[in-house]
Structure 1
Amino acid sequence: MQKDGIQPSLVTMSVLLRACAGLSLLKKGKELHCFVLRRAHDLDMVVRTALIDMYAKAGSLMSAKRIFERIQKNNLVSCNAMLTGLAVHGQGREAIALFHDMCNSGLKPDSITFTALLTACRSMELITEGWEYFDSMESTYGVTPTVENYACMVDLLARCGYLDEAMDFIKRSPFKPAASLWGALLTGCTIHGNLTLAEVAARKLFKLEPYNSANYLQMVSLYEHEQMFDEAESLKYAMKARALNTRPGWSWIQIEQSIHVFEVEGKPHPDTAEIYDELIRMVFQIRKAGYVPDTNCIVYDVPEEDKEKLLLNHTEKLAITYGLIHSDASRVPIRVIKNTRMCNDCHEVAKHISALCGRQIIIRDADRFHHFVDGKCSCNDCW
């Protein structure tokens, strides 16, 4: 557009900002923000809301807060964007406080508001509060729960270990059981190792979403963890028959203008040797500080020493290490994006490395953001 002499409108810029949000492209989002500021003295609410959404989903919650706080009179859309940002960053109490502030200011919440609010409750395992907010939707606020709201409640119950209650909740749902409901249950079953209910959820999902590889991969992981390798191989065969992607995990990090991707069983990174040397060095150091490898996620029947070596292949560890090698020693956070839920071992390693190197590490996994600072994570080990 610019090459043709066409100046993008604010609407165009808001669309581009939302694209950056979906891809967690913080640097590109900042460039667009600067571009808008140079060309518009007063940003409209559409662009301001898009900026809140972009900064929150790209991992810079403080920037999102600053923009939100500078708006003289927020509307429902901007409040929902900020609520969603707080929720995915695990700031449950702050999200709840914002919800009450917006209601007290006269804004009427909608189903999107409650999706964010229930997600915030899930991030902190606030079961009681989650039930109260869900029950109040119609009775207090006149909002009819959507299937997304029901899925949030299933997710909250399942992740907190209330799997039977989650199953009963699905059965009582007024909706024809949707993929989002069964997907939330399957994730909870995978986390807590409930094979029986996982198979029930998976069978439903295989019919509802026959080409969604994530459902198959969760069951493959669970079968392998239970040493049911024949069942796992059978699912892998079914995936290949449907031409589904069988690569379960990847992580990426942006250094300057380049995106560096690390894949499970993917093409090795050009700097693989240097990355492993530095990772092994850091693991040696953090073991002195109390780190103990958690090999429960390694399903192969190999000696414990070999399992510990396999842990080094996890993509977020490689991305973090690459970021530490190729970024300066300033306080700029290491930002990593991954497509699956962090395992316990990678979570512990990230905590220890943040303390060892004195760097903030921000990881966006499939569920939420993790902010690692001085050996602690913002999720309080609840994810």
Structure 2
Amino acid sequence: MVNPSVCAMKGDMEYAEMAAKRLFVLEPLNAGTYIMLSNMYATCGRWEDMASVRSLMKSKNVKKFAAYSWIEIDNEVHKFVAEDASHPQTEIMFEELRRLIKKLQEAGFMPDTKLILHNVVENEKLASICYHSEKLILAFGLIKKPQGTTPIRIMKNIHVCGDCHQFMKLVSRIIARPIMLSDSNIFHHFIDGSCSCKD
């Protein structure tokens, strides 16, 4: 069977719709299929189709799970969601993340706001994508373990977005330190600006 996540990566709407319809029958309560199809519609600017999928999800009482990332430091697990400001060290963590973003922008990197699939203004998209949970976790890990060559190890409960993937690659080069990120689909090992998944 066609995997909708492969269709999403290739932007193939015809096969994505076909795969999603089949999965709606096989796994009617799997939120991932609804979300992926909805996100593909949003990427294409098909807002009515996106709303239709979200409405179908609601009518079937399919629950969307929260995206989060976590890291273990000194035998303690720290967990964050996007734009999370609940941690006691939030201010220095956000400061570290802003420092990393600035360094990357000086090197030519710009966050890919096309990946924000909500119909909002550009500055809201930029603010949203800059504070994804895996970026917050990376900044936190660098604060807690600033020295050394040991990898920063991050876990994420869903697939890492394209912007965060690119971000991790470039940060691994700038800080000259490996980053390991395990998401729901694959293990990513970022070293010196490249990833083991070969993008």
**Per the shorter chain, which TM-score range?**
0.7 to 0.9
Moved more, 365-374 or 228-237: 228-237
Q: In the alignment, which residue of structure 2 is the partner of 1:273?
A: 91
1:340 aligns with 2:129: no
Aligned residue number for residue 192 of structure 2: 374
| Structure 1 contact 248–264 (Cα < 8 Å) conserved | no
More strand by share: 2
- The percent identity for this pair of structures is 35
CA–CA distance in structure 2, aligned partners of residues 272 and 229 of structure 1: 34
Aligned to 1:317: 135
Q: 1:270 to 1:209 in 2, by over 3 A?
A: farther
| Cα distance in 1 for residues equivalent to 2:22 and 2:85 | 34
- What CA RMSD, in Å, does the superposition of the two structures yield over aligned residues? 2.3
- Kindly report which structure 2 residues correspond to 1:13-24, keeping only aligned pairs within 5 A, or say none: none
Pair 1:267–1:293, CA change in 2 (3 A): closer
| Residues 269, 219 of structure 1: alpha-carbon distance in 2 compared, 3 angstrom cutoff | farther
Unaligned segments of structure 1, at least 5 residues = 1-180
CA shift, 1:267, in A, is 7.8
- 8 Å Cα contact 2:111/2:130 also seen in 1: no
Q: Which has the higher helix share?
A: 1
Determine which of 250, 255, 266 is the counterpart of 2:73: 255
Alignment CA distance shift 1:196-1:288 (3 Å): same
* Structure 1 residue 334: Cα displacement: 0.5
* 1:350-361 matches, cutoff 5 A: 350-361=168-179
1:203 is the counterpart of 2:26: no
Deviates more, 1:244-253 or 1:326-335: 244-253
Deviation at 1:231, TM superposition (A): 2.7
Note the C-alpha offset of 1:308. Answer: 2.2
Give 1:298's match in structure 2, choosing from 84, 102, 116.
116
Would the alpha carbon gap of residues 324 and 189 (structure 1) be closer, same or farther in structure 2, given more than 3 Å must change? same
Using the TM superposition, give the Cα deviation of residue 328 of structure 1 relative to its aligned residue in structure 2, in angstroms.
Answer: 4.3
**Are the equivalent residues in 2 in contact too, given 1:253–1:337 (CA < 8 A)?**
yes
Structure 1 runs of 4+ aligned residues shifted over 6 Å read none
How far apart, CA to CA, are the structure 1 residues paired with 2:82 and 2:65?
6
**What count of residue pairs does the alignment treat as equivalent?**
199
Deviation (angstroms), 1:223: 1.7
- Aligned equivalents of 2:84 and 2:58: distance in 1? 17
Contact 2:94 2:136 in 1 (8 A): yes
RCO comparison, higher one (Cα < 8 Å, 6+)? 2
Give, as a single letter, the amino acid of the residue that structure 2 aligns with 1:239.
M
| Deviation (angstroms), 1:335 | 0.6
Gaps in structure 2 of 5+ consecutive residues: none
Q: Which has the larger radius of gyration?
A: 1
**Alpha-carbon distance change, 255 to 187 in structure 1, aligned in 2, over 3 angstroms:** same
TM, length-normalised to structure 2: 0.87
